[in-house]
A and B are shown apart, each in its own frame.
Chain A
Amino acid sequence: MRSDLPWLSRNAAAVGAIAVASVTALAACSSSSTSSSSAGSSSSPSSKAPITIGASLSLTGDFSADGQAFQRGYQLWAKDVNSSGGLLGRTVQLKILNDNSSPTQVQTNYQTLFASDHVALAFGPFSSLLTTPSASVAARYGYALVEGAGGAPAVFSSPANMSAHNVFDVSLPITDEMIPFVNWVASLPPSERPATAAYPMAEDPFADPPVQLAQAKLQALGVKTVYSKIFPEEESSYKPAADQVAATGAQAVLLGSTDVPTVAAFMQAFAQQHYNPKMFICAAGPDQGAAFVSVVGKQNATGMMVPNGWYPGYANPDSQKMVQAYVAQYGGNPSDVNADVAEAYSVGQVMAQAVKATGGTDNAKIISYLHSGVTLSTVQGPVKFNELGMNDSAAAFVFQWQKDTTFRQVLPASAPGSVPIINPKPGWAS
C-alpha cells in the first residue's frame, strides 16, 4: 500500500482545508451581504438610451418549434415599435437567450438578464413548464413577468406568484377554451348532435383541463363518451391509441394535444383506418399555421378545428397590420401565421402600454398598474388582469381550416367575423 502515500497526504490536507472551509462558510453565511440589484434601478443615464427587454425562449429542445415562433413575435413587435418612434422616445432593444427547453437554463438565463445585463423589463418564456421557475426568479428581482404562453393554472397559483403577484398572462385562460364548441353542439337540433364522442388526452397541464371540462358538459347534453383516456406525452407510437379511438367509431373527437406531432399521428392513423369523425377538434396543433399544414397536408387539414383567442384573419386593425408585417418579412400567406406570434406580440403591446402609462420602466409601478383593472388592447383583443394575473376579458373562439387552406373563425357562430362551420368534416385525402 506504499503507492497510496500521496493519497494519504492529499486526503489529510483535504480534511484540514475542508474544516477551514466549513467554518469560513458558516461565518460568511451569517454575515452575508444583503445588497441586491433591484429591478428598474438601471434607469438610463440619458433618456435617449435604449430600453432593453430580456426574455428567455426555447430556441432548441422540446419546445423549439414554438419558441422560435415566439421569437419572431417578439422581434416583430420590437421592430414595429421602433419604426414608430420607440417607447417614450427611446428605442427598444430585445435580448433573447436560448433556454434549450430546460428549467435550469431558464432560471440561469433570467438571472443573467437581470443581474448581468441589467435589462429594464422582462418578457416570459414559452410553456407553463418554464414559466413557473422564471416567475420566481422575476419575483426575487422585483420584475413583472409579462408572458403569453404560460396559461396553466399552476403558473398563477405558485407560491412565488401568490406572494409577488408579478405574472401576467396576456393570452386566453385555457380551461374554458372548448366552451364555444360545446355551446355550438348544444345549439344543434338533437338529431344533428354527435351521438358519441372520444376524448384522448396527452398528459400535460395545458392540454387536459379544457377537454375534461368539455367532456363533462357534452355528457350532460347526452353525448355518450366512448373513449376517455390520458396517454403519456412521449408515446412509443400514437398508432395503438389512435386505432382504439377509430375502433369506437366516435362521431366527435376532442383531442387533448400539445403540439403538431400528436395531432398528425392521430390524423394519419385515422386515415389508415378509414375512420373519419364528423367533428375533430384539438387543444393545440392546428393553430400553428404553415407548421401544421405542411405536416398533415392541405387536404387533410380541411375541417380540423382548434380553440384559441386569435387567428390571422382577426378583424382587429393592429392584428391585420401585424399579419401583413409578418408576411412581408417571412413570406407565405396570412393563414400561415402561427398563433404563437400573436401571443408574443401581445406581450409586447401590454408592456408598452404599461410603460407609457407609468412613464418609465419602474417594475413596481408596472405591476401595480397592470393590477389596477385597466383594460389594454392587443392584437388578440382586450386584456384585463385579475388579481393572479390571468386575462379575464379574453374571449374564446373556435377556428377551422377551410377550403384552399384558409384558417377561419367559425365559433361562436354569432360573433363578428365568424364564417359558417364546415360540418361534417370532409374525408381524408386518399
Chain B
Amino acid sequence: MMGTVTRQRIAAALALAVLAGAAVTFPLVFSSPATTNYGVYALIFVTAVSAWNVFSGFSGYISLGQAVFFGSGAYAVGIAARDWHVSGVAVFGLLPLGAAVGAAIAVPFGLVALRVRRHTFIVITIAVFFIFQLMAYNLSSFTGGSVGVSAPFLPWTATTFNERFYYIALACAVVMIVIAAGVRRSRFGLQLRAIRDDEDRARGLGVHAMRVKLAAFALSAAVTGLVGGVWFLYLTQVQPPSGFDPLFDLSVVLMAFFGGVGTISGPVLGALIIEPAQLYLTATYTNGYISEIMLGALFLAVVLFMPRGIIPTAGEWITRLRTRGRPAVPAAAAAAAPQSAGKAAAGDTA
C-alpha cells in the first residue's frame, strides 16, 4: 500500500516538474508573439477561473459577478496611472492596487449577497455586476464613461511585450494555484466544503459560515482584481462593456465546469483548453459561423461523454481501470466518512 503511494508521489512530482518546465520554456520554444498571445490570455483565465473556484467551487455559491472584480481591478490600475501620471514600467507597481480594490469591493458585496443562497445568490451577483457596469458608464468624470481608460504605452517590441506579460501572467497563475492547493488542504478549505455540503449542519458544528464565506470571497476577488489589472495593461484599454463583460462571468464559470468544479486541476485545464480554443476557432473559421457552432458542439461532446467535467470523470475512469472491480482506496476511505463527505470525495478526485 505504502509502495503505491510513494510511486504515485514520484509520478506526480515528475509530471508536475514536466508541466512547470513546459510552462516556463513555452515562450522560448514558441517565440512568435502570435503564439505567446494565446499563452497570456490562457494564463489570465487560469488565474481567474482558479480564483473563482476557490470561492464558488469550494463553497458551492456560484458567483456570476466575478467581472465586478476583474473590471474594478482593470479600472483601478488605469485610473491610478492616469491620475497619478504613472508611465513606463512603473505601472506594474500599481497591480497590487487592483488586488486591494477587488478585495475592498468584495467585503460589502459579500456582506449583502452572502446572506442568501443558491439561485438567489446567483441573481444578486448578476445584479451587482450590472450596477458596476452602469457606474463605469455613468461616473464619466472618474471612469472616462463609454470612452474608458487607456494604459500608458510601453515602448517594447511585440516579442518582448508578449513574453514579459506571459511571465507576469504565469506568476499570477502559479501563485493562485498554490493558494488554491493550500486552501484545499487547510481547515479553512474543509469549512468551505462543509458549507457546500450542508451549510446549516456546518453552522451547527461551529463553523462561522459568514466569516468563512466572506474570507474566501475576498481572497477570490483580490486575485481576480489583480489579474484584471494585468489584462488591462496587456490590452492597453478598458471600457465599460469590456471590463465589466457578462461573457467573462459566464466564461469563467463554464471553464470551471468544463474542467471539473471544486478540484484544483479542473479549472486550470478548463481555462487552458477553452480560452485558446475559443480565440483560435474564432480567428480561424472566419467564413460563415462555424466557429460558434463548433464551440457549442465541443461543449456538448464534453457533457455527453464526461457529464461531471473532465477531471472528475477522468478520475472515475482511472479509478475504475486501476481497481478493476475491487473497491478503490478513496471509496473505501469515503465509506468510513459521513455520507456527505463521500459525495465530496468522489467529486474531488484529482
A and B touch in the complex (CB under 8 A): yes
A residues engaging B (CB < 8 A)?
2-18, 20-22, 24-25, 28-29, 32-38, 59-60, 96-100, 102-105, 107-109, 111-112, 114-116, 129, 132-133, 136-137, 139-141, 152-154, 158-160, 162-164, 203-205, 232-233
Residue ID in chain A nearest B14 by CB atoms: A13
CA distance A9 to B6 in the complex (A): 8
Determine whether the beta carbon of B9 is less than 8 Å from that of A9.
yes
> Are A18 and B158 neighbours in the complex by a CB distance under 8 Å?
no
Do A132 and B12 form a contact, CB below 8 Å, given A25-B167, A114-B34, A203-B137? no
In order of increasing CB-CB distance, the 3 nearest A-B pairs are A13-B13, A9-B9, A36-B157
A114 to B170, CA, bound (A): 24
Q: How far is the CA of A97 from the CA of B34 in the complex (A)?
A: 14
Closest A residue to B174 by beta carbon equals: A18
Report whether B181 and A116 are in contact in the complex, using a CB–CB cutoff of 8 Å.
Answer: no
* Interface membership of B33, Cβ < 8 A: yes
Q: Whole-angstrom distance from the CB of A115 to the nearest CB of chain B?
A: 4
Question: How many angstroms between the C-alpha atoms of A419 and B300 in the bound complex?
Answer: 57
Q: How many residues of B contact A (CB 8 A)?
A: 75
Q: List 20 A-B contacts (CB under 8 A).
A: A3-B329, A9-B9, A10-B181, A17-B13, A20-B17, A21-B20, A21-B23, A25-B24, A37-B158, A96-B286, A105-B279, A109-B283, A111-B33, A115-B32, A115-B35, A116-B35, A154-B148, A159-B151, A163-B153, A232-B137
Is there a chain A Cβ closer than 8 Å to B104's Cβ? Answer: no
Cα–Cα distance between A289 and B162 once the two chains are bound (Å): 42
Q: Which of A22, A36, A112 contacts B283 (CB 8 A)?
A: A112
Main SS class of interface, B: helix
User: Which of the residues A21, A116, A136 comes within 8 Å of B34, measured between beta carbons?
Assistant: A116
CB distance from B74 to the nearest CB of A (A): 11
A141 touches B158 (CB 8 A): yes
Q: Is B279 a contact partner of A104 (Cβ separation < 8 A)? A: yes
| B37:A2 contact, CB within 8 angstroms | no
B191 at the interface (CB under 8 A from A): no
**A35 partner residues in chain B, CB cutoff 8 A:** 31, 159
A9 touching B159, Cβ below 8 Å: no
Is B17 in contact with A97, judged by CB distance below 8 angstroms? no
Q: Using CB atoms, name the residue of chain B closest to A158.
A: B150
Say yes or no: A136-B237 contact (C-beta < 8 A), given A98-B291, A104-B279, A159-B151: yes
Bound CA–CA A233/B4 (angstroms)? 61
CB <8 Å contact, B279 and A17:
no
Q: Contacts A3-B333, A159-B151 known; A25 to B41 CB distance under 8 Å?
A: no
Confirm or deny: B49 has a beta carbon within 8 angstroms of a beta carbon on chain A.
Answer: no
Interface string of B124-140 (1 = CB under 8 A from A): 00000000001001100
Nearest B residue to A23, CB-CB = B24
B160 on the A face (CB < 8 A):
yes
Closest CB in chain B relative to A380 CB, distance in Å: 25
Neighbour of B155 across the interface among A5, A152, A163, CB < 8 A: A163
CB pair A13 B155 closer than 8 Å: no
CA A35 to CA B155, docked complex, whole Å: 14
Of listed A14, A97, A136, residue having the most chain B CB within 10 A: A14
Q: Is the CB of B185 within 8 A of A116?
A: no
Task: Tell whether B313 is near chain A: CB-to-CB under 8 Å.
Answer: no
Instruction: Report Cα–Cα, A154/B334, bound state, in Å.
Output: 59
Most buried by A among B16, B17, B31, B38: B16
Kindly list chain B residues whose C-beta atoms are within 8 Å of the C-beta of A140.
Answer: 156-158, 161
Could you say which residues of chain A place their CB within 8 Å of the CB of B282? 60, 97-100, 105
